[in-house]
Amino acid sequence: MPGASLSRWTLTYFACALLCLVGAEALMVMGFGFPGATIEAPETLILVHLVAIGWLSLLMCGALFQFVPVLVARPLLGDELPPVALAFILTGLVILLSGFAGMTGLVAVPAEAMPLGGLLLLLGFGTAILSLGRTLWAARPLTMPARFVVVGLAALAGTALFGESFALILSGLVGGEAALSLLLNGVPLHALLGLGGWLTFTAMGVSYRLLAMFMLAPETERFSTSVVLATGTLTLMLIAAATPFALAAESGLAGMLLAAAVTGLCALGVYGSDMLALYRQRKRRNIELNAVAAIGAFAALLAACLLLVFLLFSGSLPEHVGALTYLFAFGWLGGLGLAKLYKIVAFLTWLECFAPVLGKRQTPRVQDLVDERHAAPWFGVYYLAVGLGTLTLLVELPLVFRIVAGVQLFATLAIIRHLYRARELLNVPPDLRRGFARPHPFWPQPIARKLP
Amino acid sequence: MSEDAEEEDDALVAQIREALRAVIDPELGQNVVDLGLIYAIEVTDGCVASIVMTTTTRGCPATSFLKQAVQDVAWAVPGIEFVDVDLTYEPPWSPSFIAPEIAGLLGAR
C-alpha cells in the first residue's frame, strides 16, 4: 500500500523536540541552572531533563518511528501508538519539571508530582518501546544496526526505571537506607544509561545505515561493527550491574564504572574507525550537508572521549562533569540530531508533497527542498559555540558561557528556520512548486497516490 | 511467434524504457533507467509488460511510490494493457549500475 512506510507523527515529535531545545538554550542564556547553580540543583535538573527527554529523546523516538521500518524493511506495528506515547511523554515531562520547580520553592507543587511525571514518562516510553519492539521482534533475524536499536531501547527502559525510582525517593514516598544510597550513588548510572545507552548507542546503530544510504557507501556488515555492538553492550551491562553497589553504597561502584569507561571507550574507538571507513569508501564524492555537518558531531564525540580520559587521569572528573556532559549532549548528540534533521525533514516533506505524482509530472529532487549554501554556515556557528561553551565551563567563566549559549541559540534558530523553509517548499523553484499545496509545518497529512 | 510480433514487442520495450525516464529517484535526482534501477523489461503478446526493478536501498520509504509510478508510466504507453512490476533486491543495487553518462553528475565514483 503506498505510503504505508511513512510515519505520520515523526514531524510532530521533531517540532516538540526543537521547541524543548530552544527552551533549554534560552534557559542557559538566562543563567538558569548549571553553571549558575550547582550540578545537583533542581534548576539544573530542569535543564538536564528538558534536553535529555524533551529535545534528544523526542527527537530519537520520532526518528525511530520512521527509521526502524526502514532498518527492518517492514511497516511499523502498532502505528496508532506514537501519538499516545507522545502525549504521555509530554505530559510526564511537564509534570516532572513542575516537580523539580517545586523543589526550588519558586512554585507550590506537591512533591508527589515528580513520581507522577516519572510514571507518565515510563508509560510514554513504554508505549514507544512496545511499538518499536514489536516491529523489531517480528523482523528477526535482525541486521546489525537494528540490534543496536534493541540494546538502546533496553537502556531506555532502564533509564526510565532509574528515573522513577529517584522521583519516588525524592518525593519521600519511598525511604530507607538503600533508597538513600541509591539516590546518592546511582545518578551516574541513570545518566550513563540514558545518554550513553539509549541515546548514543541507538544513534550509533542508526548512523551506520543512514550515512551508508546517503553517501552510497557499501552496506556490508563489518566484523568491527560486531565488536562495537559487543563491547558497547558489555559497557551497558556493566553499568546496569553496578546497581547493587549503588544500593549498598559499596566501594565496588567506582571500579565497575571505571571498567565501563574502558570498554565504552574501546567501543567508541572502533565505532570512530568504522565511520571513517564509511566516509572513505563512499561512492558519492560530493556529500550533502547532513553528512558534512555530522562530521562536527563525530569531532565532538572524539573531543568528549579525550576530555573524559584527561579528566579521569587528572582526577578532576567530579568538578568538570558538567562541561563534559554539555559537550556530549549538545556537540555529539545534538549536533548529529540537527544534521540528520536537515535531511529527514526534507525527505519526509518530499514524500508527502511529491511522491503521489511521481512520474506524472516533473517533481523536484529532495535536494531542491533545501538551501545548503545558506544553511551550512549556521552548523559551523553552532559547533563553534558548543566548543567555546565547553571551554568556558572548563575554565569556569559562567557569564561568558551565557553569551556563547546566546550564539548557540541564535544558530539553532537559524537552522530551525532552514528546516521550516524546507518543510514549506520555500526553496523549491516556483515552476516546480506550482500546483502543490504547502504542507502543514508539523502536522503531515496522510498521503495517497493520485489517480491518473 | 512471428518475427513481426517480436519486433513490435521490442519496440514497446524501447518505448517503455524511454517513458520510464520520467520517473526520478527523489534522493539521487536522476531517472530510474539511468540509475540502473530497472533490471528488466519484457513485453509479451503485444500488450503485457513485465518489469523487474529495485530501489537504491531496501526498505526505502519511497519504494511503494516508485513501484507505482513505474507501473503507471508503463501502462500509459500506447498499446500496453497490463503491467506487472516485480520488486527485487537480488542482486542488490550498486552505484556501479549507474549509466556512465550520469555518474559524473552524481559525483559517483
Place of cell 508527589: A112
Probe site for chain B from A64, A68, A213, A216 (most B CB atoms < 10 A): A216
The pLDDT value recorded for residue B107 is 63
Nearest CA in chain A to B63: A2
Distance separating alpha carbons of residues A422 and A287, to the nearest angstrom: 18
Q: Which domains, ranges and CATH numbers included, belong to chain B?
A: 3-88 (3.30.300.130)
* Whether the Cβ atoms of residue B37 and residue B49 lie closer than 8 Å to each other: no
Q: Is A5 in CB contact (< 8 Å) with chain B?
A: yes
The pLDDT value recorded for residue B108 is 60
Residue A279: exposure state from Cβ atoms within 10 A (0-12, 13-18, ≥19): middle
pLDDT mean across residues, chain B: 90
Q: How confident is the model at residue B75 (pLDDT cuts 50, 70, 90)?
A: very high
pLDDT tens digits, one per residue of A371-417: 999 999 999 999 999 999 999 999 999 999 999 999 999 999 999 99
Taking residue B60's Cβ as centre, other Cβ atoms within 10 Å add up to 19
Handedness of CA A359, A361, A362, A368 (dihedral sign): negative
Q: How confident is the model at residue B105 (pLDDT cuts 50, 70, 90)?
A: low
Nearest CA in chain B to A348: B61
Do B27 and A4 make contact, defined as CB atoms within 8 angstroms? no
Inter-chain CB pairs, A–B, below 8 Å:
87
Nearest CA in chain A to B59: A73
Do B56 and A216 make contact, defined as CB atoms within 8 angstroms? yes
- DSSP letters, A158-201, are HHHHHHHHHHHHHTTSS-SHHHHHHHHHSHHHHHIIIIIIIIII
CB contacts, 8 Å: A286 with chain B? 107
Q: Which residue ranges in chain A fall short of pLDDT 70? A: 1-5, 447-452
Distance separating alpha carbons of residues A338 and A340, to the nearest angstrom: 6
**What size, in residues, is chain A?**
452
This complex has an ipTM of 0.90
Instruction: For chain A, positions 207-246, list CB contacts with chain B under 8 A.
Output: 213-214, 216, 219
Place of cell 516537580: A99
Residue B67 Cα, gap to closest chain A Cα (Å): 9
Do A452 and B72 make contact, defined as CB atoms within 8 angstroms? yes
The pLDDT value recorded for residue A3 is 38
Taking residue A360's Cβ as centre, other Cβ atoms within 10 Å add up to 17
